Structure 1
Amino acid sequence: MAPEMSRPGGRTARVRAAVLAAAGDALIELGLPGLDLAGLARRAGVGKTTVYRRWGTVAAVLEDLVSDMVETSAPRADTGDLDDDLLANAGLVRSTLTDPRQGRLLTALICAAVDDAGTARALRRFYDARTAVWEPCVTDAVARGDLPADTDAAAVVRAVSAPLYHQLLTRGEQPGVADARRAALVAAAAARAGAFAAPVSAGARRTS
């Protein structure tokens, strides 16, 4: 697990930004096996001792990199309309995946997560955090009566991004505007049809 870190300022912030940028570049170019702290220090132009003292392991650097991605992610849309909100979400996912650096970085992190449990945990936290940010788009629609009361908000949000990631990771094709629009509108239609009803627990089934 990454060490506890207070939010840095001044020189500390510049060092963190430089090391995390270097880590992202190295992960894209070399993959997880090519990363080491001394190499990251050289890339970042900072002292090796500083990097060892602050992070200690490559895994801690990658966890901090993912935390930074959460901190700097764009806010959710709040249009008051489910379709428009999900279209905005799909557009954001598409723009991230097609960004020359961010798309490659996310792909590299997903590959690294296959072999490294720490990276996998960090990436899961990233996606859980981003999903939670967008869940109010769905819960607000439930409150307006636009969706069934038992709609699983997280499942709807994941359904928007899933086909876009699938297209990139399994076909090597960057999702286009039409792909993003289709993903959002299909998720919205399925949600209205009750396809994302929250699962009923075993205990609830026994007492019903």
Structure 2
Amino acid sequence: MSAEPGTVRPGGRTARVRTAVLRAAGDVLAEQGFAHLDLADVARRAEVGKTTVYRRWGSVTGLVADLLSDMAEQSVPRTETGSVLGDLRANAALVRRTLADPRQGALFRAVIAAATSDSRTAEALRRFYEVRVAEWVPCVEQGVARGELPVGTDAALVVRAVSAPLYYTLLTTGVAPDAAAADRAAEAAVAAAAAGVYVVG
């Protein structure tokens, strides 16, 4: 089976081309939204030949999928503080900083909006969050091992519970959550987890 366009990890000049194209695609998404993402325009911004972009990514959705894959790979690794609350506060702070960033926040809004009507973008977005949730799952698992959370706690559900209210705030108000909101999100998720809300099976 051949790889999906844009998913092969290149080196050398090809890597530089990929970096430039993904940066340009992210800029367009942040500035103008998914509807205005055009491969020819991205190629022009990246100073890359149109045929290179069309051959490599094939479509706008293929390009967005690769952009999200790259973002997941480049994201900051988890923080381990020695307590599940400390770890998840760090997670919430990272999510808040991302959403508050003028470029990143706008980019995520554009991709989320596109995912509501485009199945390939939706799948790429799901894969992005699967990678990010998996990165932070060990923090919750360690909390269970230390006895801070009950055995049987679904770690992925807890991690998602931290970021969910932060995204909801951004999407429903248009304003990025502040540091206090991030702390509340982490504290609420940990309190619910400690009460057994996320015990499954």
Q: TM-score range by the shorter chain?
A: over 0.9
1:63 counterpart letter in structure 2: A
Ranges in structure 1 where 5+ consecutive residues have no aligned partner: 201-208
Map 1:58-137 onto structure 2 (within 5 A). Answer: 58-137=60-139
Q: Which has the larger radius of gyration?
A: 1
Query: What are the superposed Cα offsets for residues 139-167 of structure 1, whole Å, 9 maximum, x if unpaired?
Result: 11111111111111011001100111111
Matched, 1:36 2:38: yes
Aligned counterpart, 2:169: 167
> Matched residues in 1 for 2:104 and 2:4: separation?
22
> Matched residues in 2 for 1:189 and 1:33: separation?
41
User: What is the RMSD computed on CA atoms of the aligned residues?
Assistant: 1.3
> Matched residues in 2 for 1:10 and 1:67: separation?
19
Ranges in structure 2 where 5+ consecutive residues have no aligned partner: none
Aligned counterpart, 1:206: none
- State the shift of 1:4 in Å: 6.3
> Matched residues in 2 for 1:38 and 1:125: separation?
26
Aligned counterpart, 1:150: 152
2:172 counterpart letter in structure 1: T
Please give the secondary structure, in 2, of the residue aligned with 1:28: helix
> Matched residues in 2 for 1:167 and 1:191: separation?
22
Query: What are the superposed Cα offsets for residues 59-96 of structure 1, whole Å, 9 maximum, x if unpaired?
Result: 11110000100110000011221110011000000000
Q: Percent identity?
A: 62
> Matched residues in 2 for 1:62 and 1:123: separation?
9
Query: What are the superposed Cα offsets for residues 13-69 of structure 1, whole Å, 9 maximum, x if unpaired?
Result: 111111111111112233222222212111111101111111111111110000100
> Matched residues in 2 for 1:122 and 1:129: separation?
11
- State the shift of 1:100 in Å: 1.2
After TM superposition, what 4+ stretches of structure 1 lie above 6 angstroms from structure 2? none
Does the 8 Å contact 2:6/2:63 carry over to 1?
A: no
What's the TM-score once normalised by structure 1's chain length? 0.92
1:141 counterpart letter in structure 2: G
Does the 8 Å contact 2:31/2:106 carry over to 1?
A: no
With over 3 angstroms needed to count, the CA separation of the structure-2 counterparts of 1:86 and 1:36, relative to structure 1, is: same
Does the 8 Å contact 1:37/1:58 carry over to 2?
A: yes
Aligned counterpart, 1:186: 188
What's the TM-score once normalised by structure 2's chain length? 0.95
- State the shift of 1:183 in Å: 0.6
Aligned counterpart in structure 1 of residue 14 of structure 2, from 1, 12, 15? 12
Does the 8 Å contact 1:161/1:183 carry over to 2?
A: yes
1:49 counterpart letter in structure 2: T
Does the 8 Å contact 2:6/2:57 carry over to 1?
A: no
> Matched residues in 1 for 2:117 and 2:4: separation?
17
> Matched residues in 1 for 2:193 and 2:29: separation?
37
